[in-house]
Amino acid sequence: MTIAVRPAIGPPAGTDPGQAGHARQALEARGIVKRFRASGKDVVAVAGVTLSVERGEIYALLGANGSGKSTLIRALSTLLEPDEGTVTVFGLDIRKDELAVKRLINRVSVEASFFKKLSAMENLVYAGRLYGVPASEARIRSRQILVRLGIAVTRHDEPLEKLSRGMQQKVAIARAFLTSPALLLLDEPTTGLDIRSKREVQTFVRDLRDEHDATILLTTHDLDEAERLADRIGVLHEGRLVVEGTAAELMGRHGTRGSLEDVFMSITGRKIDENEPSEIAGER
Amino acid sequence: MIGEVATQAGLAYAFVEREVALMKRYWLWELVWIIYGIVTSLSVAFIGIAAPVISGNAVDPSTTSRFVLYLLVGTIAWRFMGLVFENIAEIIAWERWEGTIEYTFMAPVPRLTHLAGMAAGTIVRAVVFSVTTLFAVMLFIPVDLSHANALSAVTMLAVGTVAFMGLGIASAVFPMLWTEKGLQMAYIVQAVVLLVSGVYYPTSVLPTWLQALSVISPATYVIEGMRRALLDGADLSALWPLVWPALLVGVLSVPIGLRAFIAAERYAKRTGRLKRSG
Ligand SMILES: Nc1ncnc2c1ncn2[C@@H]1O[C@H](COP(=O)(O)OP(=O)(O)OP(=O)(O)O)[C@@H](O)[C@H]1O
Ligand SMILES: [Mg+2]
């Protein structure tokens, strides 16, 4: 793991978030509401989330299945338009400055989504081009990132469908890193990875923040991962952000035996009373 | 300004490169489509050659040869425009199936650039298909191109291609709005256009009410124009009455299609239709 990745993932020219605005907040979401209409019934997937992530911070979102994590991530990455609320990324409004925001962000979804017949390298070069990374540069960087994530060079030019699910997930992570996002949204990035691969990805995420000033918002079902990686943790429950704080703070407040699992169980176990005041200041 | 155009061209090229790479990886399927196209064109041409036998009347060889070319122009030009239409109409459905749609729509690429890139990629494919078909057919059947005006024919096809791009973009909206049945709607549009555009016969043989539809299909003008160019050597000024209606469809359908596409994209992002799972 001594491969120099610094040149591989520095921010490309013109996308320095410093130029985009002087905002200290990398991400600022206010009062996000997202409803879906499915088979005649309204589902409130996100029910008024206010959240901000500071530049250089790693923020982990926890929550039970269906609590709205992926929906929130999609709303933050321009893939869903919120019914209510505003989002700014480094001070840029996600709707008004859509193209500029898109240049600053990238997202990794739970399922690795690729052109299955194309190789990892072809998929990455294509993705790089979409973000203005020249093909020659994309090739060099991709090799470095893939190797660093533990994918041997011999696999880089094989059709992606021949790679295991975990390997595909790593290629998906490489794709996001390749475009040097200032704000990286990771939706369950390590789900389906073995323990070693998980660690490799976690180390890489941390390096990305430490070495390249990236801000990271991730969702996970792995509480150890959240504790190990995140500066702050938020828990979504039925579309609301019900607690937020450092791992230690959360455990102090909710953990009967002082573990994050207790926190999770105690928060997601109870039914939220609509009228119960939220613990988070500023949440409506 | 020039720098901006170069940037956008670079972004659009990503889609061309991707489409070519996909063609290579799916080469066996591409081969199937090419062979299918060749066989269709050949079968239609043989109908022309068999005309004397089928009708029981003697037909002089020059008339037969003209009949064969008449049919071939229809089948090959239709295949070209049909491919352009299909490829573009399938943009959404295809990427949904591959699972890449969210990545494409999240990329910092203006929609116009995205669609221009896809259109360019699709033209590469249509040219490869049509030229291969033409040469393959000429191996089996003598094709008399001695009177052909190639410039007029190519211009006519180019105008038709623009019109079908616009119609394709507009039809790509269906799969965006109806995830389950949108693509089927696009194919029905295409089938109706085939029927009314005089691909294998003059539109005058159609029932009157169908002829009304052929007036609005750009393929009607393009195929008629290409026939006049390739059979009788008509030049562009003689073809102008056929050029302008097809051109008009393109001039209208491209911007309208683009607007509809962008509106549908917003609607999909509001209702969560871009992609559901995960
Ligand atoms: N595109 C959509 N259309 C309709 N309903 C949706 C859509 N996307 C999400 N939902 C609904 O919104 C709710 C929240 O789903 P979401 O995927 O955000 O949860 P999640 O926290 O990511 O869950 P998981 O941990 O299982 O990934 C669910 O009830 C889901 O069915
Ligand atoms: Mg999810």
Domains of chain B, by residue range, sit at: 2-271
- From the CA of A221, the nearest ligand is 1
Q: Are B200 and B71 in contact (CB under 8 A)?
A: yes
Partner-chain residue, chosen from A107, A132, A187, that has the shortest CB–CB distance to B106? A107
Q: What is the sign, positive or negative, of the torsion defined by CA atoms of B222, B227, B230, B236?
A: negative
Task: Tell whether A257 is covered by a domain.
Answer: yes
Task: Tell whether A124 is covered by a domain.
Answer: no
Model pLDDT for residues A39-77, shown as the tens digit of each residue: 788 899 999 999 999 999 999 999 999 999 999 999 999
DSSP structure string for B114-153: HHHHHHHHHHHHHHHHHHHHHHHHHHHS----TT--HHHH
Q: List Cβ neighbours of A28 (8 Å cut-off, separation of 6 or more).
A: A51, A52, A87, A88, A89
Strand order in the sheet with A58-63: A105-108, A183-187, A215-219, A58-63, A232-237, A240-245
pLDDT in tens, chain B (278 residues): 788 899 999 999 999 999 999 999 999 999 999 999 999 999 999 999 998 898 888 888 888 999 999 999 999 999 999 999 999 999 999 999 889 999 999 999 999 999 999 999 999 999 999 999 999 999 999 888 888 999 999 999 999 999 999 999 999 999 888 877 888 888 898 899 999 999 999 999 999 999 999 999 999 999 999 999 999 999 999 999 999 999 999 999 999 999 999 999 999 999 998 876 54
CA A15 centroid distance within chain: 19
SS percent in chain A: helix, strand, coil, step 5? 40, 25, 40
Q: Are A170 and A197 in contact (CB under 8 A)?
A: yes
- C-alpha span between B55 and B151 (Å, rounded): 35
Q: Taking CB atoms and an 8 Å limit, are B266 and A81 in contact across chains?
A: yes
Nearest-Cα residue of chain B relative to residue A158:
B25
Q: Taking CB atoms and an 8 Å limit, are B275 and A107 in contact across chains?
A: no
Partner-chain residue, chosen from B14, B26, B275, that has the shortest CB–CB distance to A129? B14
Q: Are A113 and B95 in contact (CB under 8 A)?
A: no
Q: Taking CB atoms and an 8 Å limit, are B98 and A187 in contact across chains?
A: no
Give the residue from B19, B30, B96, B106 with the most A CB atoms within 10 Å of its CB, the best one to mutate.
Answer: B106
Give the residue from A101, A111, A113, A160 with the most B CB atoms within 10 Å of its CB, the best one to mutate.
Answer: A113
- From the CA of A43, the nearest ligand is 1
Q: Does A102 touch chain B (CB under 8 A)?
A: yes
Partner-chain residue, chosen from B13, B21, B102, that has the shortest CB–CB distance to A118? B21
Q: From the CA atom positions of chain A, what is the Rg in Å?
A: 19
Long-range own/partner contacts, residues A90-94 (CB < 8 A, 24 or more apart): A90/A17, A90/A20, A90/A21, A90/A23, A90/A25, A90/A26, A90/A55, A90/A182, A90/A183, A91/A20, A91/A21, A91/A22, A91/A23, A91/A25, A92/A20, A92/A21
Task: Tell whether A3 is covered by a domain.
Answer: no
- C-alpha span between B278 and B268 (Å, rounded): 16
Q: Which helix (H) or strand (E) holds A232?
A: strand A232-237
Q: Are A79 and B106 in contact (CB under 8 A)?
A: yes
- The residue among B13, B158, B147 whose CA lies nearest residue B80 is B158
Q: Taking CB atoms and an 8 Å limit, are A113 and B25 in contact across chains?
A: no
- The residue among B274, B253, B29 whose CA lies nearest residue B160 is B253
Task: Tell whether A17 is covered by a domain.
Answer: no
- C-alpha span between A159 and A157 (Å, rounded): 7
> CA-based diameter of chain B, in Å?
67
Partner-chain residue, chosen from B22, B103, B108, that has the shortest CB–CB distance to A113? B103
Tokens describing residue B25: 């990886």
Task: Tell whether A125 is covered by a domain.
Answer: no
- C-alpha span between A10 and A121 (Å, rounded): 19
What is the total count of domains within chain A? 1
Q: For residue A244, how far is its CA from the centre of ligand 2 (angstroms)?
A: 19
- Give contacts of B121 with chain A, Cβ < 8 Å: none
Helix boundaries (H) for A93-222? 98-104, 120-130, 135-148, 165-178, 195-212
Q: Is the pTM of this model over 0.95?
A: no
CATH of the domain at A91: 3.40.50.300
Q: Which residues surround ligand 2, an ion (CB under 5 A)?
A: A 69-70
> Looking at the DSSP assignment, which residues form a beta bridge with residue A240?
A237
CA distance A80 to chain B (A): 4
- From the CA of A71, the nearest ligand is 1
> Looking at the DSSP assignment, which residues form a beta bridge with residue A46?
A34
- Give contacts of A130 with chain B, Cβ < 8 Å: 11, 14, 104, 107-109
> Looking at the DSSP assignment, which residues form a beta bridge with residue A108?
A186
Q: Taking CB atoms and an 8 Å limit, are A103 and B277 in contact across chains?
A: no
Q: Taking CB atoms and an 8 Å limit, are B22 and A117 in contact across chains?
A: yes
Q: For residue A71, how far is its CA from the centre of ligand 1 (angstroms)?
A: 6
CA distances from A88 to A24, A100, B107, B276 (A): 12, 11, 17, 24
DSSP letter (8 states) at residue A159: B
Long-range own/partner contacts, residues B17-21 (CB < 8 A, 24 or more apart): B17/A125, B17/A126, B17/A129, B18/A115, B18/A118, B18/A122, B18/A126, B18/B121, B19/B118, B19/B121, B19/B122, B19/B124, B19/B125, B20/B121, B20/B124, B21/A115, B21/A118, B21/A122, B21/A126
Q: How many C-beta neighbours within 10 Å does residue B251 have?
A: 14
Q: For residue B58, how far is its CA from the centre of ligand 1 (angstroms)?
A: 71
> Looking at the DSSP assignment, which residues form a beta bridge with residue A70?
none
Q: What is the sign, positive or negative, of the torsion defined by CA atoms of A66, A70, A75, A79?
A: negative
Q: Does A49 touch chain B (CB under 8 A)?
A: no
List the residue whose alpha carbon is closest to atom 26 of ligand 1: A65
Helix boundaries (H) for chain A? 17-20, 69-76, 98-104, 120-130, 135-148, 165-178, 195-212, 223-229, 247-254, 260-269
Cα-based angle B172, B175, B176 (whole degrees, multiple of 5)? 85
Task: Tell whether A174 is covered by a domain.
Answer: no
Q: Which residues form the domain of A204? A: 37-110+182-268
Q: For residue A45, how far is its CA from the centre of ligand 2 (angstroms)?
A: 11
Low-confidence stretches of chain A (pLDDT < 70) are: 1-23, 255-258, 270-284
CA distance A35 to chain B (A): 8
Q: From the CA atom positions of chain B, what is the Rg in Å?
A: 20
> Looking at the DSSP assignment, which residues form a beta bridge with residue A84?
A33
* Ligand 1-lining residues (CB < 6 angstroms): A 36, 38, 43, 45, 63, 65-71; B 272, 276
Nearest-Cα residue of chain A relative to residue B102:
A79
Partner-chain residue, chosen from B13, B14, B272, that has the shortest CB–CB distance to A36? B272
Q: Taking CB atoms and an 8 Å limit, are A132 and B110 in contact across chains?
A: no
Nearest-Cα residue of chain B relative to residue A128:
B14
- The residue among A239, A237, A217 whose CA lies nearest residue A84 is A239
Prediction ipTM score? 0.87
CA A259 centroid distance within chain: 24
Give the position, in ligand 1's atom list, of the atom nearest the Cα of A38: 4
Q: List Cβ neighbours of B247 (8 Å cut-off, separation of 6 or more).
A: B159, B162, B163
Q: Are B118 and B94 in contact (CB under 8 A)?
A: no
Model pLDDT for residues A121-141, shown as the tens digit of each residue: 999 999 999 999 999 999 999
Task: Tell whether A92 is covered by a domain.
Answer: yes
pLDDT at A271: 53
CA distances from B215 to B73, B118, B196 (A): 19, 28, 9
Task: Tell whether A42 is covered by a domain.
Answer: yes
Q: Are B254 and B166 in contact (CB under 8 A)?
A: yes
